[in-house]
Amino acid sequence: MDVLFGALADPTRRQLLQRLLANGPATATVLAEPLACSRQAVVKHLQALEAAGLATPERVGREVRYRATPERLASAVGWLLDAGGSWDRRIDRLRGRNPPTRNRR
């Protein structure tokens, strides 16, 4: 899970992942076009997404196309929902112990 969230911590990687999810498989060259970074930098970001299980490379002839792996992203969402629920329960317990007070003047 640490590798997954580490990969998602970078805004460029999140942008690449969003584009892959929205538009389907693409090469590093195509993904680099709208970004302010080189194709080589995009490849490094894609390798980080691949290591986290968020993207998968597919060789098509001479090209390597990357596709998003939404199943892995779903596991991160599930973890966040579980963690959020745990915090909600803790906050509810704290509210029960310390009811809100009014400022008296």
User: Which positions ≥6 away from 79 have C-beta within 8 Å?
Assistant: 1
Q: Which phi and psi (to 5°) does residue 44 adopt?
A: -60, -40
Q: Do residues 71 and 81 lie in contact, with contact meaning Cβ atoms separated by under 8 Å?
A: no
Confidence (pLDDT) at 19: 97
Confidence (pLDDT) at 98: 61
pLDDT at 53 over 90: yes
Every domain of the chain and the residues it spans: 2-69
pTM exceeds 0.85 for this model? no
User: Which positions ≥6 away from 12 have C-beta within 8 Å?
Assistant: 35, 37, 41, 42, 45
* CATH code for the part of the protein at 2-69: 1.10.10.10
